[in-house]
Amino acid sequence: MSTFQAPKGTYDLIPPRSAKFLAVREAISAPLKNSGYGYIETPGFENVELFARGVGESTDIVSKEMYAFETKGGTKLALRPEGTASVLRAALEANLHKAGNLPVKLWYSGSYYRYERPQAGRYRHFSQVGAEAIGAEDPALDAELIILADQAYRTLGLREFRILLNSLGDKECRPVYRDALQGFLRELDLDEDTRRRIEINPLRVLDDKRADVQKQLVGAPMLRDYLCDACKAYHEEVRELLTAAGVAFEDDEKLVRGLDYYTRTTFEFVHDGLGSQSAVGGGGRYDGLSEMIGGPELPSVGWALGVDRTVLALEAEGIELELPASTSVFAVPLGEEARRVLFGIVTELRREGIATDFAFGGRGLKGAMKSANRSGARYTIVAGERDLGEGVVQIKNMESGEQSAVALGLVVEELRSRLSS
């Protein structure tokens, strides 16, 4: 074993399990690529202030979980704890919103970092696929994103997830609710940290998972009773569009999400097979975030789905993804001349798009055939001096064990034909 191990709360993705993660990323991004979303990639670290302003200083993410550091030049940076603030910063910096085609629709995939207490489904390094639609205030856009995430999960075969939906109001009606909620919360018996949160972002107290806090929250003012007519109408249209699209959801008045920038529509995808870490993804509308980070007014909406959590949800439902075989053909040369000839055939097969591997290291027939078996190849091509003298190679069906001689010039065509049938 190596002297070094992966840092606590992180993981390595290695074959064959890594193929499952790739398939999940592909399934989540496929509906986005098909709906006008372009790919964006941002740095793994950003200016600390971007997250402090955007995500919110009162959030656990910024106050407790962010990996922040100072460079040799004295710049304060942080590993990105989430994707939205970075994507919006990049879009603003590139003036994408000025190109005249709003909303700017972007999707991304990458690793994110939070200093959390590691447990199943919660890591200090985790992987997400996200989508952002920047610069348009339209209930159809909110509905589109929820429908695309639902589609991605159903394509993977997931069935036991639920979509929770809420509205957090806007800058007109939320301050009125905030005052009423603060008045209620100040009367409760809460610890100092939570009392501080009441003053900065009281809605986050509703999201507190501790049973003794939840017990005290019975009878708290409900946001729905404070929504202005515009927010009520907006939320109702999102609900109607989802229902018309056949996407089931549950209204959850306590759904706040752990980021300060959300307004109006907020939603979460939860899977009951994951225990306490039941959220597999979520998102919402963040109409004020652009201004928070120094940009113009750009109403936007987005989500991020956890790749790790989605894999756990698949395993909880016992779903085995149909993953393409990493190797279809395995070449076993016997002798130097066969090694040269078969390596040429391997190169040709790969150029034809056929997944092919080769017995490297000059092993004997027995060892090479063991490698062929382990590779999962459907066919092996074997050749020795006698075969080459006759101008043939042997093609062996690894499932049936049948073997036949095929002329050297016809090997690629023969294997293409067999693999497509």
**Domain 329-420 in this protein, CATH class:** alpha beta
Top pLDDT among 174 and 358 is at 358
Q: Which range has the worst mean pLDDT, 28-42, 117-131, 199-213, 328-342?
A: 199-213
Taking alpha carbons only, the member of 128, 134, 159 closest to residue 29 is 128
Q: Check pLDDT > 80 for residue 120.
A: no
Can 17-173+227-316 and 329-420 be said to share one CATH topology?
A: no
First-to-final CA distance of the chain: 44
Taking alpha carbons only, the member of 380, 405, 402 closest to residue 390 is 405
pLDDT attached to residue 1: 64
pLDDT attached to residue 59: 64
Q: Check pLDDT > 90 for residue 240.
A: yes
CB 113 within 8 A of CB 79: yes
Report the SS3 class of residue 40. Answer: coil
Q: β-strand 300-306 against 329-333: which pairing, if any? A: unpaired
Q: Over the chain, what is the mean pLDDT?
A: 91
pLDDT attached to residue 324: 79
Q: Check pLDDT > 80 for residue 196.
A: yes
Instruction: Give the residue-averaged pLDDT of 280-295.
Output: 92
Q: Which amino acid is at 208?
A: D
Question: What tokens does 291 get?
Answer: 């201004």
Question: Would you list the domain boundaries of the chain?
Answer: 17-173+227-316, 329-420
**Domain 17-173+227-316 in this protein, CATH class:** alpha beta
Q: Which range has the worst mean pLDDT, 139-148, 149-158, 276-285?
A: 276-285
Tens digit of each residue's pLDDT (9 = 90 or more) over 304-362: 999 999 999 999 999 999 887 789 999 999 999 999 999 999 999 999 999 999 999 87
Taking alpha carbons only, the member of 302, 301, 295 closest to residue 98 is 295
Q: Rounded to 5 degrees, what are φ and ψ at 129? A: -115, 130
Question: What tokens does 22 get?
Answer: 């790739």
Question: What tokens does 314 get?
Answer: 């698949």
Phi-psi category of 135—alpha, beta or left, where left has phi over 0 and alpha has psi -120 to 50?
left
pLDDT attached to residue 235: 96
Tens digit of each residue's pLDDT (9 = 90 or more) over 51-69: 888 777 656 667 778 899 9
pTM: 0.89
pLDDT attached to residue 19: 93
Q: Check pLDDT > 90 for residue 206.
A: no
Q: Which amino acid is at 285?
A: R
Q: Which range has the worst mean pLDDT, 1-5, 263-267, 314-318, 384-388?
A: 1-5
Taking alpha carbons only, the member of 301, 309, 318 closest to residue 147 is 301
- Return the CA Rg of the chain: 27
d(CA 23, CA 284): 25
d(CA 401, CA 51): 60
